[in-house]
Structure 1
């Protein structure tokens, strides 16, 4: 008995695998580059604005963008993995440049803390970006965009309450409001996204910022 092989049948899975690996490499490499840029930006920006590039909201924007733009034809789980790669790349790029391009990164404690947070936040915001851009379910679109906007609400609370950097707090608050208004699909989704963002921002501040302030203080 002989078996016939369909031409190209084995090539298609290999091509699909290469495409996935390529997207993961782009996500991780982009995160690595952006990590270096955020470190550099701290020296470029004036005064208290120097902390903004190193904020959780700015870093999670990379994972959100990866999920929204890089994984159009994939499932959200792939976008989540891409987000994890992007966030891990950010940590390595930021602290790698601090170690070899500046005066040293110091203790491994904070790099490991941020790497742990990156492996949690990266998949969440990679999937959130996919849900917002490609999701057919309005609830997931609202949840994804609301989580992204809520990050800026969390940062606004951090700058206003803990750091007392009021101009930066207003800038983050503006993004907290503008993201739902400009990126949601209709008035109903805008209103729901704003409410979701407010709830997420408060929960994230209580769950992440407060413990980090206790540890660093």
Structure 2
């Protein structure tokens, strides 16, 4: 009896590299738009002491870091994902502001936050890529950048005696992230010390940016 030979099943087609890249960046953008809409929606529903977290530059940036960590498979795509996600947050927020609240948003305010997204988005994307796919040294530096971002905004609010509950939460989260990153990391002591200094520099930069005359809170 002649045994019937069966052909091996053909492998499932995989998306081409350009298509996969476009899909990842589209997801990062859509995630940013969705979060921008969500923050606008939460502003009208959270208590006053927590409301600032729905309109926080630090929170928006952390979300961009997270989206870039998920969808940025290289440093370049990470930077682009961070840029697109932060621009998406700005777009989602301001596209819905007029329909939901019935007020026109000043053009200079939209320009300000769009420019901030262009400047900060790629950096946030690199931080996200470093967190998800970097070396041990890159991960601890990225984590301390996130901690510095939260600490800078929280410290500004504490200094201005405003949004005290949310400010304390941000500072506490920053301390938790920083301590955990330093203790968990297997990088050298010198590398961890440099990461701490980098986090302090990020916090100082955020504090300086929030104190500038160009930012209307």
TM band (smaller chain): 0.7 to 0.9
Partner secondary structure for residue 212 of structure 2 = helix
1:145 is aligned, of 139, 143, 157, to 143
Residue of structure 2 in register with 1:7 after alignment: none
Segments of structure 2 that go 5 or more residues without pairing to the other structure are: 1-12
- Closer, same or farther: CA 57–145 of 1 in aligned 2, 3 Å: same
Q: What TM-score do the two structures reach when normalised by structure 1?
A: 0.83
Residue of structure 1 in register with 2:116 after alignment: 117
Residue of structure 2 in register with 1:133 after alignment: 132
Q: Please give the per-residue CA displacement for 1:118-169, whole angstroms capped at 9, x wherever unaligned.
A: 111111011101112211261x323322211111011112211225332222
- Closer, same or farther: CA 15–107 of 1 in aligned 2, 3 Å: same
Residue of structure 2 in register with 1:199 after alignment: 201
1:19-98 pair list within 5 angstroms: 19-71=20-72, 74-98=73-97
Q: Structure 1 CA distance, aligned partners of 2:36 and 2:161? A: 23
1:4-19 pair list within 5 angstroms: 15-19=16-20
| 8 A contact 1:33–1:93 mirrored in 2 | yes
Q: Structure 2 CA distance, aligned partners of 1:15 and 1:33? A: 27
| 8 A contact 1:155–1:169 mirrored in 2 | yes
Q: Structure 1 CA distance, aligned partners of 2:152 and 2:94? A: 23
Structure 1 residue 191, shift from structure 2 partner: 5.8
2:178 is aligned, of 167, 177, 180, to 180
1:162 is aligned, of 160, 163, 182, to 160
Aligned pair count reads 201
Higher deviation after alignment, 193-202 or 37-46: 193-202
More helix by share: 1
Q: Please give the per-residue CA displacement for 1:31-79, whole angstroms capped at 9, x wherever unaligned.
A: 00100000111111101321211111110111111221222xx321111
How well do the aligned residues superpose, as a CA RMSD in angstroms? 2.2
